Structure 1
């Protein structure tokens, strides 16, 4: 968690608390050490956030304090509401949870006249149809992409034949009816796209690969992507 997010979360927890909150309690919720919480409290107090209390006793946020409202237009607010709810059609539980967290944070700091457009917007988002991944955690794939870590997978083609592969995960491709991992496949020595529901097993490796300053993603992005079916099965073609 970034420190700016953690400072925001401390304010939110103190805002909703009915009694003083100890540093140990905050540390457990935020998965940091009490020492880190003490430093964060001191930082917030230095920024004139009216937090009162002391170590070993607990902290409270003086009533009446509020974060300045975000300056969003109504179209921007509805874009956030639609975008976050579109994430709900993806078969990626960690992203779904993150989207809910975004909506909650935005709703908290919006002026009253705009809050309902985030909490209860008059919109409908159809559910997705992509099959769920069983042999791989999509959040781990995204982490491997961020960290440029190679991924070992057991992959089944449409006939059920399995192959062991080491891939360099480059990107996620989310369609309504299929979720793909765009990667460089060491077995085929070429770019391939892998349907997440056909990954039977997976493991992040210690080995890293070079993203070449975005060249791999650029080359993968340049591949034909006219329709999902053309992307779904090239790993099975040979």
Structure 2
């Protein structure tokens, strides 16, 4: 783990608890107690509102929080670009959250950084015919492990109807696909959302067995995604 990532993890761990010892932090982050003591001292020196001392424990002050400027300018630009992409290519629920995140970031950015971003603008137009509103009910079906009925049209025009177990949604730059376990094929299949003629969330809940999970799909296909 990079040191910057470890420092952020320390702040997150302290914020989630009343009091945390260096021993606990060292175990969770798989480093030595000496490293934790040094990290805490550096965080305190940089202005992080950490109370406590070695041998007793540490906590974040009640009025304190993780400083927004833990992100460097390039990281903030990347976050803003990602939020703009989500805002343009996701359903209403996620879009509103992305816009709220953009507003919060803008509220804490220094004037100089705002000017840098304005001088190097990257925009993601949201004017497109893609049926992004199909995402929310499918996302909810994935979260609830509910089956989906799909009336689907393949690229060659062939129509079919399937009962599938939705597992994950993937964005490819100009389209979304659903990876699902297909009852008819008894195997993994992927479906483009824009080729679904109709779909309906079923009340029936599915239970995955070994070999049917999204991780099983990744393993079989040799897929490696960031964070997976």
TM-score interval w.r.t. the shorter chain?
A: 0.5 to 0.7
Q: What is aligned with 1:180?
A: 177
**Deviation at residue 223 of structure 1 after TM alignment:** 4.8
Displacement after TM superposition at 1:168 (Å)? 0.8
> Could you tell me which of 112, 122, 130 is aligned with 1:124?
122
Change (3 A) 1:213 1:100: farther
Report how far residue 212 of structure 1 moved: 5.6
TM-score normalised by structure 2 residue count? 0.57
The DSSP-based 3-state class of the residue aligned with 1:137 is: helix
Aligned twin of 1:31 = none
Note closer, same or farther for the CA distance 1:68–1:172 as it changes in structure 2 (3 Å cut): closer
Deviations 1:37-93 (A, max 9, x none): xxxxxxxxxx78xxxxxxxxxxxxxxxxxx985132212211211211232452544
Distance 2:93 2:192 in 1: 18
The 2-side partners of 1:214 and 1:76 are apart by: 37
1:152 aligned residue? 149
- Quote the Cα distance in structure 2 between the aligned partners of 1:198 and 1:129: 19
After TM superposition, the structure 1 = structure 2 runs for residues 71-220 of structure 1, keeping only pairs within 5 Å, are 71=69, 72-90=71-89, 92-116=91-115, 120=118, 122-125=120-123, 132-133=130-131, 137-211=134-208, 216-220=213-217
Q: Is the 8 A contact 1:130 1:176 kept in 2?
A: no
In 2, the alpha carbon distance for the partners of 1:104 and 1:191 equals: 39
> RMSD across aligned C-alpha pairs, in angstroms?
3.5
Matched, 1:70 2:68: yes
Contact 2:134 2:193 in 1 (8 A): no
Q: Distance in 1 between matches of 2:145 and 2:116?
A: 38
Distance 2:211 2:111 in 1: 42
Q: Which runs of 5+ in 2 are unaligned?
A: 1-61, 224-228
Larger relative contact order (Cα-Cα within 8 Å, sequence gap ≥ 6): 1
Cα distance in 2, alignment partners of residues 214 and 115 from structure 1: 48
Distance 1:117 1:143 in 2: 38
Q: In the superposition, relative to structure 1, how do residues 195 and 225 fare at CA in structure 2: closer, same or farther (>3 Å)?
A: farther
| Pair 1:156–1:103, CA change in 2 (3 A) | same
Paired residue total: 161
- How far apart are the structure 2 equivalents of 1:222 and 1:121? 43
Residue by residue over 1:170-207, the C-alpha shift from the partner in whole angstroms, topping out at 9 and shown as x without a partner, is 11111123310010011111100001111111111122
* Deviating more after overlay: 204-213 vs 101-110: 204-213
